[in-house]
Structure 1
Amino acid sequence: MDKKTEEFYERLKGELEKSNSWPALYLYKFIVPTDKEKIEQIQKAFDCLGAVIKTTQSKTAKFTSVSVDVQMESAQAVIEKYQELSTIEGIVSL
Protein backbone atom coordinates (compact mmCIF):
# COMPACT_ATOMS: atom_id res chain seq x y z
CA MET A 1 0.00 0.00 0.00
CA ASP A 2 1.38 3.39 -0.93
CA LYS A 3 1.92 6.19 1.58
CA LYS A 4 -0.98 8.30 0.28
CA THR A 5 -3.41 5.38 0.66
CA GLU A 6 -2.07 4.62 4.12
CA GLU A 7 -2.57 8.24 5.19
CA PHE A 8 -6.12 8.20 3.81
CA TYR A 9 -7.01 5.13 5.88
CA GLU A 10 -5.42 6.59 9.01
CA ARG A 11 -7.41 9.82 8.60
CA LEU A 12 -10.63 7.89 7.93
CA LYS A 13 -10.06 5.71 11.00
CA GLY A 14 -9.61 8.81 13.17
CA GLU A 15 -12.82 10.38 11.81
CA LEU A 16 -14.77 7.16 12.32
CA GLU A 17 -13.57 6.81 15.91
CA LYS A 18 -14.59 10.41 16.69
CA SER A 19 -18.02 10.28 15.05
CA ASN A 20 -19.26 6.85 16.15
CA SER A 21 -19.48 4.72 19.23
CA TRP A 22 -18.69 1.17 18.22
CA PRO A 23 -20.20 -1.23 17.30
CA ALA A 24 -22.18 0.94 14.86
CA LEU A 25 -24.19 0.77 11.66
CA TYR A 26 -22.00 1.79 8.72
CA LEU A 27 -22.98 2.51 5.12
CA TYR A 28 -20.46 1.47 2.48
CA LYS A 29 -20.94 2.81 -1.04
CA PHE A 30 -19.12 1.43 -4.04
CA ILE A 31 -19.27 1.81 -7.80
CA VAL A 32 -18.06 -1.06 -9.96
CA PRO A 33 -18.19 -1.83 -13.66
CA THR A 34 -21.39 -3.82 -14.23
CA ASP A 35 -20.06 -7.35 -13.96
CA LYS A 36 -21.94 -10.07 -12.10
CA GLU A 37 -18.70 -11.52 -10.70
CA LYS A 38 -17.51 -8.19 -9.24
CA ILE A 39 -20.89 -7.50 -7.65
CA GLU A 40 -20.90 -11.01 -6.16
CA GLN A 41 -17.40 -10.44 -4.74
CA ILE A 42 -18.71 -7.43 -2.82
CA GLN A 43 -21.78 -9.35 -1.62
CA LYS A 44 -19.67 -12.32 -0.49
CA ALA A 45 -17.39 -10.01 1.52
CA PHE A 46 -20.40 -9.15 3.69
CA ASP A 47 -21.84 -12.69 3.97
CA CYS A 48 -22.86 -13.67 7.50
CA LEU A 49 -22.70 -10.05 8.71
CA GLY A 50 -26.42 -9.36 8.36
CA ALA A 51 -25.80 -6.67 5.74
CA VAL A 52 -28.55 -5.01 3.71
CA ILE A 53 -27.20 -4.70 0.18
CA LYS A 54 -28.77 -2.61 -2.58
CA THR A 55 -27.56 -2.44 -6.17
CA THR A 56 -28.50 0.13 -8.81
CA GLN A 57 -27.32 0.15 -12.41
CA SER A 58 -26.35 3.39 -14.12
CA LYS A 59 -28.49 4.63 -17.03
CA THR A 60 -26.00 3.24 -19.52
CA ALA A 61 -25.70 -0.03 -17.52
CA LYS A 62 -21.90 0.27 -17.65
CA PHE A 63 -21.64 0.70 -13.88
CA THR A 64 -23.46 -0.55 -10.81
CA SER A 65 -23.59 1.21 -7.47
CA VAL A 66 -23.59 -1.07 -4.46
CA SER A 67 -24.73 0.22 -1.05
CA VAL A 68 -24.07 -1.95 1.98
CA ASP A 69 -25.66 -1.15 5.34
CA VAL A 70 -23.98 -3.28 7.99
CA GLN A 71 -23.21 -3.37 11.71
CA MET A 72 -19.44 -3.11 12.14
CA GLU A 73 -17.52 -3.79 15.35
CA SER A 74 -14.93 -1.02 15.11
CA ALA A 75 -13.38 1.68 12.93
CA GLN A 76 -10.54 -0.77 12.24
CA ALA A 77 -13.05 -3.38 10.96
CA VAL A 78 -14.47 -0.76 8.56
CA ILE A 79 -10.97 0.01 7.24
CA GLU A 80 -10.10 -3.69 6.86
CA LYS A 81 -13.23 -4.27 4.77
CA TYR A 82 -12.33 -1.33 2.49
CA GLN A 83 -8.82 -2.76 2.08
CA GLU A 84 -10.16 -6.25 1.35
CA LEU A 85 -12.48 -4.91 -1.37
CA SER A 86 -9.89 -2.57 -2.90
CA THR A 87 -8.47 -5.57 -4.79
CA ILE A 88 -11.57 -5.73 -7.02
CA GLU A 89 -10.61 -4.33 -10.41
CA GLY A 90 -12.35 -1.05 -11.22
CA ILE A 91 -14.00 -0.58 -7.81
CA VAL A 92 -14.48 2.97 -6.53
CA SER A 93 -15.23 3.52 -2.85
CA LEU A 94 -17.37 6.56 -2.06
Structure 2
Amino acid sequence: MKSPEEKEAFYKKLKSQLSDTAMWPSEYLYKFIVKTDTVKIENIESIFNHLGAVITTNASKNGKYTSVSVNVRLKNPDHVIEKYKEVAEKIPDVISL
Protein backbone atom coordinates (compact mmCIF):
# COMPACT_ATOMS: atom_id res chain seq x y z
CA MET A 1 0.00 0.00 0.00
CA LYS A 2 1.30 3.44 -0.88
CA SER A 3 2.00 6.00 1.80
CA PRO A 4 0.06 9.29 1.78
CA GLU A 5 3.22 11.06 0.57
CA GLU A 6 3.59 8.65 -2.37
CA LYS A 7 -0.06 9.11 -3.30
CA GLU A 8 0.23 12.90 -3.24
CA ALA A 9 3.41 12.78 -5.34
CA PHE A 10 1.58 10.56 -7.86
CA TYR A 11 -1.37 12.95 -8.09
CA LYS A 12 0.92 15.98 -8.40
CA LYS A 13 2.77 14.33 -11.30
CA LEU A 14 -0.53 13.29 -12.93
CA LYS A 15 -1.87 16.84 -12.67
CA SER A 16 1.26 18.19 -14.32
CA GLN A 17 1.06 15.63 -17.15
CA LEU A 18 -2.64 16.30 -17.73
CA SER A 19 -2.05 20.06 -17.80
CA ASP A 20 0.77 19.66 -20.32
CA THR A 21 -0.95 17.22 -22.68
CA ALA A 22 -4.58 18.33 -22.99
CA MET A 23 -6.70 21.40 -23.57
CA TRP A 24 -9.34 21.63 -20.84
CA PRO A 25 -12.22 20.88 -20.65
CA SER A 26 -11.36 17.55 -22.22
CA GLU A 27 -12.40 13.92 -22.54
CA TYR A 28 -10.72 11.57 -20.06
CA LEU A 29 -10.77 7.78 -19.98
CA TYR A 30 -10.66 6.08 -16.58
CA LYS A 31 -10.03 2.36 -16.28
CA PHE A 32 -10.74 0.45 -13.11
CA ILE A 33 -10.49 -3.25 -12.22
CA VAL A 34 -12.65 -4.74 -9.45
CA LYS A 35 -13.58 -8.20 -8.32
CA THR A 36 -16.82 -8.96 -10.08
CA ASP A 37 -19.42 -7.56 -7.70
CA THR A 38 -22.48 -5.70 -8.95
CA VAL A 39 -22.47 -3.39 -5.91
CA LYS A 40 -18.88 -2.25 -6.58
CA ILE A 41 -19.62 -1.71 -10.27
CA GLU A 42 -22.80 0.23 -9.49
CA ASN A 43 -20.87 2.35 -6.97
CA ILE A 44 -18.32 3.30 -9.61
CA GLU A 45 -21.14 4.15 -12.02
CA SER A 46 -22.85 6.31 -9.38
CA ILE A 47 -19.68 8.35 -8.84
CA PHE A 48 -19.83 9.42 -12.50
CA ASN A 49 -23.62 9.79 -12.55
CA HIS A 50 -24.93 13.06 -14.05
CA LEU A 51 -21.61 13.80 -15.81
CA GLY A 52 -22.64 12.39 -19.19
CA ALA A 53 -20.11 9.57 -18.84
CA VAL A 54 -20.05 6.61 -21.20
CA ILE A 55 -19.41 3.55 -19.04
CA THR A 56 -18.53 0.09 -20.34
CA THR A 57 -17.78 -3.07 -18.42
CA ASN A 58 -15.98 -6.22 -19.45
CA ALA A 59 -15.74 -9.39 -17.37
CA SER A 60 -12.47 -11.31 -17.31
CA LYS A 61 -12.21 -14.68 -19.03
CA ASN A 62 -13.07 -16.57 -15.85
CA GLY A 63 -15.52 -13.92 -14.61
CA LYS A 64 -13.60 -13.24 -11.40
CA TYR A 65 -12.78 -9.62 -12.27
CA THR A 66 -14.50 -6.86 -14.21
CA SER A 67 -12.91 -3.89 -15.93
CA VAL A 68 -14.90 -0.68 -15.86
CA SER A 69 -14.04 1.99 -18.44
CA VAL A 70 -15.44 5.48 -17.94
CA ASN A 71 -15.15 8.04 -20.72
CA VAL A 72 -16.19 11.47 -19.48
CA ARG A 73 -15.65 15.14 -20.30
CA LEU A 74 -14.17 16.97 -17.32
CA LYS A 75 -13.36 20.62 -16.57
CA ASN A 76 -9.71 20.36 -15.56
CA PRO A 77 -6.98 18.08 -14.17
CA ASP A 78 -8.14 18.75 -10.59
CA HIS A 79 -11.54 17.28 -11.46
CA VAL A 80 -9.84 14.15 -12.89
CA ILE A 81 -7.85 13.66 -9.69
CA GLU A 82 -10.90 14.36 -7.51
CA LYS A 83 -12.75 11.46 -9.19
CA TYR A 84 -9.77 9.10 -8.80
CA LYS A 85 -9.66 9.90 -5.07
CA GLU A 86 -13.42 9.48 -4.71
CA VAL A 87 -13.34 6.03 -6.35
CA ALA A 88 -10.37 4.93 -4.20
CA GLU A 89 -12.14 6.13 -1.05
CA LYS A 90 -15.54 4.57 -1.77
CA ILE A 91 -14.64 1.30 -3.54
CA PRO A 92 -12.55 -1.17 -1.53
CA ASP A 93 -9.79 -3.00 -3.42
CA VAL A 94 -10.28 -1.11 -6.68
CA ILE A 95 -7.31 -1.00 -9.05
CA SER A 96 -6.98 2.21 -11.05
CA LEU A 97 -5.11 2.00 -14.34
Please tell me the TM-score bracket, short chain as reference.
Answer: over 0.9
Count of residues paired in the alignment: 94
State the Cα distance separating 1:60 from its structure 2 match. 1.1
CA distance in 1, matches of 2:54, 2:80: 15
- Structure 1 stretches of 4+ with a deviation exceeding 6 A read none
In the alignment, structure 2 segments of 5+ residues that lack a partner are none
Q: TM-score, normalised by structure 1?
A: 0.97
CA distance in 2, matches of 1:50, 1:58: 26
Compute the RMSD of aligned alpha carbons: 0.8
Structure 1 residue identity aligned to 2:18: L
The SS at the match of 1:86 is helix
Is 2:94 the counterpart of 1:91?
A: yes
Aligned residues with identical type, % of pairs: 49
In the alignment, structure 1 segments of 5+ residues that lack a partner are none
CA distance in 1, matches of 2:50, 2:56: 16
State the Cα distance separating 1:23 from its structure 2 match. 0.2
Deviations 1:50-86 (A, max 9, x none): 0000000001111000000000000000000000000
Q: TM-score, normalised by structure 2?
A: 0.95
